[in-house]
Amino acid sequence: MLVEQMYTSCLAQAAYWVESNGEALVIDPLRDYSIYTKMAEERGVKIKYIIETHFHADFVSGHIDLAKATGAPIVYGPNAKANFDIQIVEDGEVLTLGDITLTAIHTPGHTPESTCFLLKNEEGNDYCIFTGDTLFVGDVGRPDLLDKTPVHSKETMASWLYESLNTKLKTLADDVIVYPAHGPGSSCGKNLGPETFSTIGEQKADNYAMQDLNKAEFVEQVLDGIQAPPSYFFDDVAMNKNGYKPIDVLVKTGLNAMDLEDFENELKKGALVIDSRVPDIFERGFIPGSINIGLNGQYAIWAAELFSLDRKIILVCSEGREEESVTRLARVGFENVAGFLKGGFKSYADSGKEIDLIISIDPYEFSLDYKHDDIKVLDVRKQGEWDTAHLGKAKHVCLSKIADNLEIFENDKNPVYIHCAGGYRSMIAASYLRQNGFKLIKNVLGGFNKIKDEEGLDILSEAVELK
């Protein structure tokens, strides 16, 4: 028996490969399905099932393309309805894979169809459970991602989740391994722990949602502090239910190497330029109007947080990173990448055209300006990060909300100093503001993680009501 967690940190997502005696299954696969077909070929096994723990909101699954490539059925739990052929398993139904079995445990709450799968090993003993978004390490799946116009309220969904945890998951032995669909950084829960797997016993001890609460207490705690979900979540749910373009087609289209003239023509017609180079390289020179979302971070997530999934995109990439740039966008639902600039930024700069740049300063220089000048500071971290600690003079706008808050520094004659936690998100914000006409921008290298170590700054830690 082989159980392998295939974790993708830039999506905070975990798919699973399970194998026994020549047969394999994949749980919650990524959209780029060839990962799994190649693995099956290399290992000489047949993919028997493609299991979906629920309809995902934060990424587009590879279930449809993988099913077409392998002939394996797409398995969902009770209440699932899709616009393609699926195999429904009922609560308690057993699937056989080689010498092992997986039992479907219907656990509604995150979604109505959410189902966990309990794996019994060759000896028939409970070994691990794949919990999808029902149970995370230190958290549970948020109950408000059903649909834009949900049939069930988040309170109803939370009450279902309470029953699922208390009547089903908490009854399992403490040594059963918990394999969730997400880890730290995912927006499918409030505050996921740093680990990507755990045990039932550890979660009974440490997870607030697995404590001895009554239903009312549980619902209150689960709903407390939930921020509005990213708007693309509901688009991804729809794609996972109704279908999508084959990723092979998207990659072929996206790998269209555009000469400078064609690239500029698309730009004039309103295409969005995403520059996927790392921030340290981007800031030294970039095409005016381009947005930096580096491949060294949660590239696809931030693209989807900031821009509509149907937006036409043209790419500027480091050499050899073009396919990765296209594929990672497809994972979250972008299906209109028209191509990339052949030769990358160098070809643009070599043509003699005007380029842009962003000035970055180190934390020490920032601290001097902060203490001695009346400067404007923009903190683009998430709400929880701000609540933990922030600068007294700073204004807070989470990066995902920057489009709705461009008026904050409008017409300011002084530079806007931008920081996040480490420097990745601040460069996205800086390039976004630059695209929208802000010229006086300085990016703080190392972000708040470095700023807080400087002496004499007014670091506050109390939570305040923010825009």
Q: Is 94 helix (H, G, I), strand (E, B) or coil?
A: strand
Q: Which two tokens stand for residue 311?
A: 């937006």
Does any domain span residue 411? yes
Q: Which of 214, 236, 258 is the last residue of a domain?
A: 236
Does any domain span residue 398? yes
Residues 196 and 275 in one domain: no
Q: Which two tokens stand for residue 75?
A: 């398995």
Q: Which of 350, 374, 402 is the last residue of a domain?
A: 350
Residues 287 and 320 in one domain: yes
Q: Return the ∠ at Cα 100 (arms to 95 and 105), rounded to 5°.
A: 45
The CA distance from 223 to 144, in Å, is 9
The CA distance from 340 to 326, in Å, is 9
Q: How many C-beta atoms lie closer than 10 Å to residue 258's C-beta? A: 18
The CA distance from 235 to 336, in Å, is 14
Does any domain span residue 467? no
Q: Which structural domain, as residue segments, surrounds residue 249?
A: 245-350
Residues 229 and 259 in one domain: no
**Beta-sheet strands, E only, within 10-84:** 13-20, 23-27, 46-51, 74-76
Q: Which of 350, 373, 394 is the last residue of a domain?
A: 350
Domain of 363, CATH number, reads 3.40.250.10
Residues 366 and 344 in one domain: no
Number of domains in the chain: 3
Residues 404 and 277 in one domain: no
Q: How many C-beta atoms lie closer than 10 Å to residue 141's C-beta? A: 31
Q: How many residues does the chain have?
A: 467
The CA distance from 14 to 220, in Å, is 28
Residues 371 and 336 in one domain: no
Q: Return the ∠ at Cα 411 (arms to 405 and 416), rounded to 5°.
A: 65
Residues 317 and 373 in one domain: no
Residues 75 and 194 in one domain: yes
Does any domain span residue 466? no
Instruction: Return per-residue pLDDT of the chain as tens, 467 residues.
Output: 999 999 999 999 999 999 999 999 999 999 999 999 999 999 999 999 999 999 999 999 999 999 999 999 999 999 999 999 999 999 999 999 999 999 999 999 999 999 999 999 999 999 999 999 999 999 999 998 766 666 789 999 999 999 999 999 999 999 999 999 999 888 888 778 889 999 999 999 999 999 999 999 999 999 998 888 888 999 999 999 999 999 999 999 999 999 999 999 999 999 999 999 999 999 999 999 999 999 999 999 999 999 999 999 999 999 999 999 999 999 999 999 999 999 999 999 999 999 999 999 999 999 999 998 888 999 999 988 999 999 999 999 999 999 999 887 776 677 899 999 999 999 999 999 999 988 889 999 999 999 999 998 999 986 443 33
Does any domain span residue 314? yes
Q: Are 276 and 321 in contact (CB under 8 A)?
A: yes
The CA distance from 349 to 369, in Å, is 32
Residues 342 and 368 in one domain: no
Does any domain span residue 231? yes
